[in-house]
Chain A
Amino acid sequence: MSGRTFGRKLAVGVGITGVLTLFSVMLAAGCLLFVTQAKDKVINAATNELAGAENLGRLMEKRLGDYRAYLLYKTDEFLNAAAQDRIDFRSQLAALASSADPTVTALLNRISDAEEKHAAAIDVVIALRAKSDSPLVASTLNTNTAVPLRKEVLAALGEMITRVRADVADDRTRSSRQATIAIVVILTLGAITTACSIVVAWRLSRDLRREVGAAVGHIQSSSAQLEAAAAQQANGGRDQASAMNEITTTINELLITSRQIADSAQRVSKIAEDTETAARTGDQTIAQTRASITAIRTQVDQIVQHMLALGEKSQQIGGVVDLVSELAEQTNILAINATIEASGAGEWGRRFAVVAEEIRKLADRTAASAKEIRTMIEDVRGAVNTTVMATEIGAKAVDAGSRQFDDATNAFRDIAQLVSTTNDATREIELSTKQQTTAVEQVNVAASDTARVSRETESSAVQTKQTAAHLSTLSGDLLELVGNRGH
């Protein structure tokens, strides 16, 4: 029976019990019918055969009475009565002969033969009584002829009655034995039915405890879990409601912040417009500055050219100075040699030596002056070179500054473009912030609805918890009902 539902098991068990009960009832009915038939047979035998036999005797006795009355009173009334009694006797005898067994039939034939002989004897006696007035003659004849026949009839009747009584007793005994067998069969079947019912009840009880108890245990466990989950859900709903309240508060603050951002974006947009205007105004200043830088570059180039020319002139002066220095040196040498030569030339030589010495001094002074000039020229050339280098550095600086200014100009234009872009972006931010504010308001409404739903969810969870607790209690009661409390 495993794997079936408990309802099917219950239906099968009740069906088996019902079938056994029906079978027992039918068998009991059959046995009762059998016993009834047996008893009916006994009763019929008792009523029909025994009563018929007894009735034969009574009719025989009644005929004999009417016969004796006729013999005494010689009236037709008693004669007719006796004749009627014989008819009734024969009818009763015929009735008994129709359903009798062979032994009884033989006895009935014997009775019929004896009655025929007795009736013949009686007819002789009746005829004699009809002829005579005294009953004694007839009585004597009766005693001699009819009485033995009458005893023979009565003996046959008695034997038949005995026989019928024996048959009735046998039938009664047999029917009682059959009734006993039927009782035993019914009791046995009842015991089997009861045993089957007990087994079915035990199996159903066991399955009820096992399956229904397990299911109810699961229901109880699930109810406990459902209760815990409902409690958790209630706590969650409470926390969610609290969180949604905080979210609502935060959204309100966010709404205020969004409005402030919108205002700030509007101000930034205004500032960006002003910045864009200022940037466009700065283009003229940039053009003037660029012209000034170009003029500076031209002047620097001219300075470089002049300095280079000055350097060339200084180089030329240096050449002249070198020539003067060469001449002075040569003059110095010549003067010294002249002095040397003059030293051996007496008085004239000494005068010439004086002149030569003066010439040497002039040459030395010239050489010194040339040297100073050379130094000055070198200084001038160094200064020119330094100036040229500085000027070139300045020119490069001007070029670099010009490039940087171009970069700055481009950057300034980029800044202006970016400011314009920023202005557009700021307007978009302003519009987006307004839309965001509207969205935040909608979110605020939605958050309020969500908080309300959270509170409703908390209430539902509390109700669910109570229902789960009630269901757990009911499960415990049901476990007690199925007798599986310790499951």
Chain B
Amino acid sequence: MGQLGETLAPALDAGLVALVFQAGPFFCALPLDEVIETMRPLPTRPLAGTPPYVRGLTILRGEPSPVIDVTRLLTGVTSEIDRYVAVRAGRGPVACATGPVLGVRTVRASPPEGPSTLFTGASRSLVAAVGTLGTEPLLVLRSIRTVPDEVWEAAAREHTTGVPA
């Protein structure tokens, strides 16, 4: 992760083109090269035995993909879901359930040694930098890697058998 932070640092200093959206009380940004597309919330099947921020599985362009509730992941509480943002993850696309999508912006954020040093656990592994959007804080998220392996395996089984896990 530290390697990723180092690779992102020059870009952040020069301004990062990212997709800005709202997740609960926070404004968040995803690097645009990780974003596949945005869409309305799709039908999602819940999965048992997964963390609370995993809403379940949905079908993105014909393939089952896990749905991560970003608001739940960042704040621990749920809020209204307006959009799904499909991002590229290590083992396939992941749908991030977010609030309203504000658009593609060029954001500037502080390096992770700033306020982000306070984050721990999943937040620390998710937040790459912290910036501002107007007067509101802006969290620059790194690639979603927090999807447990059980979810990927369930998605793989669904993709193989076509039967929900």
Contact = CB atoms under 8 A, between A and B. Distances in A.
Given A329-B40, A340-B104, 16 more contacts: A333-B38, A333-B39, A333-B40, A333-B83, A336-B19, A336-B38, A336-B101, A336-B103, A337-B38, A339-B103, A340-B37, A340-B38, A343-B104, A344-B33, A357-B103, A357-B104
Interface of B: 17, 19, 32-33, 35-40, 83, 101, 103-104
A454 B83 CA distance: 118
* Chain A interface SS verdict (over half): helix
Q: Which of A329, A339, A353 has the most CB of B within 10 A?
A: A339
Nearest to A335: B103
6 contacts: A333-B38, A333-B101, A336-B104, A339-B103, A340-B32, A340-B38
Interface string A317-356: 0000000000001001100110111011000000001000
Contacts of A333: 38-40, 83, 101
Nearest to B82: A329
A250 B104 CA distance: 112
A341 B35 CA distance: 9
Interface of A: 329, 332-333, 336-337, 339-341, 343-344, 353, 357, 360
Nearest to A333: B38
Contact of B37 (A337, A344, A357, A360): A337
Contact of A343 (B17, B40, B83, B101): B17
A353 B19 CA distance: 13
A353 B33 contact: no
Given A336-B19, A340-B19, A344-B33, A360 B38 contact: no
A147 B103 CA distance: 238
Contact of B32 (A332, A343, A357, A360): A343
Contacts of A332: 101
Nearest to B21: A336
* Chain B interface SS verdict (over half): strand
A364 to B, nearest CB: 8
A271 B104 CA distance: 93
A337 B39 CA distance: 8
A360 B103 contact: yes
Contacts of A360: 103
B58 to A, nearest CB: 16
A344 B37 CA distance: 13
Contacts of B83: 333
Contacts of B40: 329, 333
A329 B38 CA distance: 12
Contacts of A336: 19, 38, 101, 103-104
Contacts of B35: 340
A19 B37 CA distance: 173
A333 B35 CA distance: 13
A339 B19 CA distance: 10
Contacts of B19: 336, 340
B103 A340 contact: no
Contacts of A329: 40
A284 B148 CA distance: 90
Contacts of B104: 336, 339-340, 343, 353, 357
Q: Top 4 closest A-B pairs, CB basis?
A: A339-B104, A337-B37, A343-B32, A336-B38
Q: Which of B32, B39, B103 has the most CB of A within 10 A?
A: B103
Contacts of A353: 104
Contacts of A337: 37-38
A114 to B, nearest CB: 211
Contacts of B38: 333, 336-337, 340
A116 to B, nearest CB: 213
A125 to B, nearest CB: 225
A65 to B, nearest CB: 215
Nearest to A339: B104
B129 to A, nearest CB: 19
A321 B156 CA distance: 42
Contacts of A343: 17, 32-33, 104
Contacts of A339: 103-104
B21 to A, nearest CB: 10
A333 B19 CA distance: 12
A344 B88 CA distance: 14
B36 A340 contact: yes
Contacts of A344: 33
A318 to B, nearest CB: 20
Nearest to A332: B101
A36 B32 CA distance: 202
Nearest to B101: A336
A34 B32 CA distance: 199
A329 B17 CA distance: 22
B12 to A, nearest CB: 17
B108 to A, nearest CB: 17
B39 to A, nearest CB: 6
B29 to A, nearest CB: 13
Contacts of B17: 343
A2 B103 CA distance: 151
A201 B122 CA distance: 157
Contacts of B36: 340
